[in-house]
Amino acid sequence: MKGEGVISGRIAPSKGDWSIDVVSHELYQHDVEKAKQLLADAGYPDGFDITITTASSYADMVDTAQLLQQQWKQIGINAEIQQVEWGEYIDIWSNTSADILVGRNGSGTDPDRAMNYFFHTDGSANVWKFSSPEYDALVEEAKAMIDIDTRKEMYGDAQNLLLELSPNLFLVSPKNYVAVRDNVTDYEPYPHSTEDLDKVYKK
């Protein structure tokens, strides 16, 4: 992302302290030798061939596929990149027919979208059928929690659990910039790309 990205877990850093810092987590360490050993332990000492599917309409998704291809080659995984148009991509996503699928999903206006919508057993976007009773109980309780500090702590625990269970790999969040004239007052951009213009005015 040409330096304009932030290493990220499931909830984007743009959500402030709803997001956990994943940089020091074991899964985010670049350790080629350990990766080779894990492959060997799994029965693939010489690596394997795989296909990464991505949407041709989004340059950042193609770039991500190319980066994965380059990094995996270091440990013996030979990845071919398949670019598809958006309609086909959605079909592949919904029927989970890809070996590896590069995705792009925001955190939404509330952490519940990032956590429940995609990863709860009954989440409507949980196409990969991920299921963990422990995780479900945690995000269900967090969703109903009124106390903000307690809710943030619960979602932090849920994010850490999701990293341990690893149904998906969470890589990076892009930085976005907004330009506003100095005669515009009280304009506040939101990370979920919506705008509240009720109190915005021009001097």
Task: Give the integer Cα–Cα distance in Å for 71 and 85.
Answer: 25
Higher pLDDT, 2 or 156: 156
Residues in the chain: 203
Q: What's the one-letter identity of residue 146?
A: I
Share of the chain above pLDDT 90, in %: 58
What pLDDT, in 10s, does the model give residues 17-67?
899 999 988 889 999 999 999 999 999 999 999 999 999 999 989 999 999
In the prediction, which pLDDT does 194 show?
A: 65
Nearest to 71 by CA among 171, 160, 162: 171
Q: What angle do CA 176, 29, 104 make, to 5 degrees?
A: 35
Output the CA–CA distances (angstroms, integers) from residue 11 to 49, 56, 156, 184, in the order listed: 31, 25, 9, 30
Tell me: pLDDT of 14 over 70: yes
Tell me: pLDDT of 193 over 70: no
72: its two tokens: 């995996």
Q: Of 97-101, 125-129, 142-146, 187-191, where does mean pLDDT reach its minimum?
A: 187-191
What pLDDT, in 10s, does the model give residues 136-163?
999 999 999 999 999 999 999 999 999 9
- At 192, the pLDDT band (50, 70, 90 cuts) reads low
Q: What's the one-letter identity of residue 112?
A: D
- At 188, the pLDDT band (50, 70, 90 cuts) reads confident
In the prediction, which pLDDT does 187 show?
A: 85
CB atoms within 10 A of CB 91: 11
Structural domains present in the chain: 1-19+107-203 (no CATH), 32-104 (3.10.105.10)
In the prediction, which pLDDT does 121 show?
A: 96
In the numeric block, the tokens 């079909």 are attached to 91
**What does pLDDT average to over the chain?**
90
Residue 118 backbone dihedrals phi, psi, to 5 degrees: -95, -25
First to last CA, the chain: 36
Tell me: pLDDT of 11 over 90: no
* Cβ-Cβ contacts under 8 Å for 152 (sequence gap 6 or more): 17, 18
In the prediction, which pLDDT does 5 show?
A: 85
